[in-house]
Amino acid sequence: MTSTKNDKVAVVSMMRNDKFFVTKWIDYYSQQLGSHNLFIILDGHDQTLPIDNQDINVIRLPHRALSRSKGDRNRARLVSYFAKSLFFRYEVVIAHDIDEILVVDPKLNIGLMDYLLKPTRCSSKSGLGLDVGQHIELEAEIDITKPFLSQRSFAHVSARYTKPIVAHKPLRWGSGFHRVKGKNFHIDKNLFLFHFGMLDFKKSKDKIGDKSLHKAGWQGHLDRRLQLFELISKANAVDGDAFFAKARLRQSLFRPIYAINKPGMLNEKPIVKIPDRFRHTV
């Protein structure tokens, strides 16, 4: 859908050693916001984009070899400062990882830019986090040329991905964009953040075998993430529309004591069937 407003919403991500998700990221946000409002920070002068990038804003920075936790914090600080500068040109800034996509509910029949420019009192907005994975017994290997959600029907409703990634004013994101420092969060009833990091079992296994990631402290994290495939294959998936409102309420109410500005996890690890109206969004 073409927006009636231009150059008021920017989106930022940082990328290293990815040739898969960045293509989808660029295609999706170019359609929603216009390619000239996309900002990709390349982590290392050895990095390149897999597709033509004439209209995309590309920033190249020297790579720093950091552990997973230190790298997450460093990336959040860097993007926070960069996003602050973008508010001299934009009204709204979106910032998140390259394997995530923010979607406004298709039932509204409105583009992402027009939706985010609606008046609001919130300094940030979160989409409900949906961790999409492959049902290895029912779904085939992913085809990058087709919409992801036309090939994947199940997701874990996860507070880890209910991130305050939409900024309506300059903010300071915490590690991994999971919270805004010194601020509360607001889970928007019409926004969804789809996390595609474990979209495909084979690709996920290959990533776990990457020795460079092991050295940076990623092995434990990746091993835990593999559990998503088992969770999806064994669960009795519930209808997403019947659960989404309940999930937003519970994530808002039952927050961790150690970080009350982060949404609370749902103990039963709910798996939902993604409504069919999302099939051609991403």
Rounded Cα–Cα distance for residues 90 and 104 (Å): 20
Architecture of domain 9-278: Alpha-Beta Complex (3.90)
Q: What is the DSSP string of 264-282?
A: PP-TT--EEEPPGGGTTT-
Q: What is the tens place of the pLDDT at every residue in 58-105? A: 999 999 988 878 888 999 999 999 999 999 999 999 999 999 999 999
What confidence tier does 212 reach under pLDDT thresholds 50, 70, 90?
low
pLDDT at 218: 47
Phi, psi of 93 (to 5 degrees): -130, 130
Mean of the pLDDT values across residues 105-121?
A: 97
Q: Has this prediction a pTM greater than 0.75?
A: yes
Q: What is the tens place of the pLDDT at every residue in 25-56? A: 999 999 999 999 999 999 999 998 877 777 99
Q: Which two tokens stand for residue 12?
A: 């930022």
- The ranges assigned to domains in the chain are 9-278
Could you tell me which of 155, 1, 14 has the C-alpha nearest to residue 83?
Answer: 14
What confidence tier does 259 reach under pLDDT thresholds 50, 70, 90?
confident
